[in-house]
Chain A
Amino acid sequence: MDSLLSLFIGQYVADLKRSLALFAPELVLATAFVLLVIVDLIFQKSKYITGVVALLGFAVATIFMIVSPANTSFGFWQMYVFDPFSNFFKYIFLISGFAVVLISFFSNELNKSDRTMGEYYTLILGMTLGMFVISSAGNLILIYLALETMSLSSYVLAGYTKEIKRASEASLKYVIYGALASGLMIYGISILYGLTGTLSLFQINAFLTQYQGPVFPLVVASLLVLVGFGYKISAVPFHFWTPDVYEGAPVAITAYLSVASKAAGFAVFMRFLKAGFIDPTNASEQVWTMVSSIDWKFIVAVLSVLSMTIGNFVALWQTNVKRMLAYSSIAHAGYMLMGVTVMTEGGYIAVMIYFFTYLLMNFGAFYVVQLIANEIGSEELEDYNGLGYRSPLLGTAMAIFLVSLTGLPPTAGFVGKLYIFQAVINSNMIWLAVVGVLNSVVSLAYYAKVFRNMWLRGVDSNSAPLKYSIYAQLLVYAFVIPTLYYGIFWTPLVFWAKSSVMMFIGK
């Protein structure tokens, strides 16, 4: 008995050591989180030093990501999964982490003289840590914990400019909708636990292959869990918070929520579907079969069509650019759900390609909105009249990002849409592709409104040109150039996504 126990302990320690070595990027982020709190206490006067430390944290985490061996295995006793799929999304989170810290440096709204910025960067690191964990989680309770780590930080960040009424309102709405969604999700998880007797996605999968009982409680539980994911990716009908929070929050945070938070939602949703509900014996083949009788294809297709249509049509009536981009991000969630709904390798690759391009163009668009708001103090569409002449750089950059968001060549957005539609057509869901294309046409209408106001209205206005520092200008180029580059030379991007789609499912 003693030897058995010591054998078990030996195995446990070995697993822990191996897992901790692979867990290094997350450990770095956690260390940087603690370090930032201390740095903030020491350098209370300085506004930027905490931001620089956050950047260093992201940089060290990136280095650990690059040097860590390409490993596909379980960690921490099946709680955690190390695979190329999660690595892809971790790079997305790191890039958006760098972007959001850099953007925050140039925000007048955030860097007011009486505000301390230490907690701001600390919470961004905490949120990124939650995203890292969620993209690798293989257990429902870990998924829930990571989701809450992300959410709790983002509730506070959304209302960080606490003396501004609309920011505090955004944060209240976010916390109420978010807590309701996570409450529904944990209730769904508890029913799923009762049905299957386990919280591990892989054991749920094994259970479902033999499951013969009633399907109704399974459907209810899965739909309740879906609420949590749907809320994170802001898919209709779980999108009610999105326009209000995106409009009220500081622009940098809006950009971060619309890209990284959505990416985390997609990463965990895709893993939940594939690890939990796909028959693992043919998961490496082109078309996957489901183990349960839940019609996920239909459910996700409905979400996708609703998100695209409602997002695009409501955006047509918006007069505030930030709010318009919020509805546009709902519509983009719909496009990406098209790639999930086909349930093939190609569909998942398309979503990943789309995410990289979406990262560039959406961050870019929000950054331009922020630079303009710095100068004119408004995000209303009417105040954009003639801005193209007051700042040709911002006008041109905005035009490029909007063309990319519409999905027209020669920009990166085109590549993302191309692969999504290709995957949808390959799996014979022509009607869905038609809906997607029609929606892209609708989206052109409201993106063009911004362009029209910037370049064709108020031409004779002879106000002073917009002012921004040379570094702010460089950051604009940092978003514009890749957006154009990957619109023409997209092969490396596709190659990266193809080599990263492999998801470890224990077989």
Chain B
Amino acid sequence: MEIGLTHYLVVSALLFSLGVFGIVTRKNSILVLMGLELILNSANLNFIAFSKFKGLNIEGHIATLFVIVLAAAEVAVALAIILNIYQNYHHIDVDEINKLKE
């Protein structure tokens, strides 16, 4: 069987759904971040697959490079924030951090 565009799109849609599922259900902030990474990577896979199979220009590859860099930056900032949360609360459970609710 030939591996075509559809296969890539299905894998990326699965990654995307798993990422959203992870963000919604996980309690640990680090695992929430991993869900975010899955979403960004599903977008990357889409960009590359469209670029390759639809014979498009190089824009898709460039977009992927930018998204990879941004994902790294975002995780760096988010981890610093989580570290700060740990110093203040001594845990990183997102469900327990709710002082701001009325």
Decide if A199 touches B81 in the complex (CB within 8 Å).
no
CB distance from B92 to the nearest CB of A (A): 9
Q: Mark A156-184, 1 if CB is under 8 A from B, else 0.
A: 10010011011011111101100110111
A175: B residues at CB distance < 8 A: 74, 77-78, 81
Asked if A346 is at the interface of the complex by the 8 Å CB criterion, the answer is no
CB distance from B31 to the nearest CB of A (A): 11
The distance in angstroms between the C-alpha atoms of A198 and B57, with both chains bound, is: 8
Decide if A156 touches B40 in the complex (CB within 8 Å).
no
Which residues 165-223 of A sit at the B interface, judged by CB distance below 8 A?
Answer: 165-166, 168-173, 175-176, 179-180, 182-184, 186-187, 189-191, 193-194, 197-199
The distance in angstroms between the C-alpha atoms of A144 and B63, with both chains bound, is: 10
B101: A residues at CB distance < 8 A: 244
**On chain A, which size bracket covers the interface?**
35 or more
The distance in angstroms between the C-alpha atoms of A198 and B78, with both chains bound, is: 31
Decide if A193 touches B81 in the complex (CB within 8 Å).
no
Decide if B81 touches A168 in the complex (CB within 8 Å).
yes
Q: Mark B50-81, 1 if CB is under 8 A from A, else 0.
A: 10001011011011001100100110011011
A152: B residues at CB distance < 8 A: 73-74, 77
B56: A residues at CB distance < 8 A: 193, 197-198
Asked if A73 is at the interface of the complex by the 8 Å CB criterion, the answer is no
Known: A172-B82, A172-B94. A187 touches B42 (CB 8 A): yes
The distance in angstroms between the C-alpha atoms of A184 and B16, with both chains bound, is: 9
CB distance from A502 to the nearest CB of B (A): 28
Q: How many residues of B contact A (CB 8 A)?
A: 45
Decide if B46 touches A187 in the complex (CB within 8 Å).
yes
CB distance from B85 to the nearest CB of A (A): 5
Asked if A120 is at the interface of the complex by the 8 Å CB criterion, the answer is no
Known: A166-B100, A169-B100, A247-B100. A194 touches B50 (CB 8 A): yes
Decide if B102 touches A180 in the complex (CB within 8 Å).
no
Asked if A111 is at the interface of the complex by the 8 Å CB criterion, the answer is no
Smallest CB gap from A184: residue in B = B39
B33: A residues at CB distance < 8 A: 179
Asked if B10 is at the interface of the complex by the 8 Å CB criterion, the answer is no
A180: B residues at CB distance < 8 A: 20, 23, 36, 39
Q: List 24 A-B contacts (CB under 8 A).
A: A141-B62, A145-B70, A155-B78, A159-B81, A162-B84, A165-B88, A165-B89, A165-B99, A168-B84, A168-B89, A169-B100, A172-B29, A176-B23, A180-B20, A180-B36, A183-B39, A184-B39, A187-B43, A190-B44, A191-B46, A193-B50, A194-B46, A194-B50, A320-B102
8 A-B pairs with least C-beta separation: A190-B46, A183-B39, A194-B50, A186-B43, A244-B100, A190-B43, A187-B43, A179-B36
B interface list, Cβ under 8 A from A: 16, 19-20, 23, 29, 32-33, 36, 39-40, 42-44, 46-47, 49-50, 54, 56-57, 59-60, 62-63, 66-67, 70, 73-74, 77-78, 80-82, 84-85, 88-89, 94, 97-102
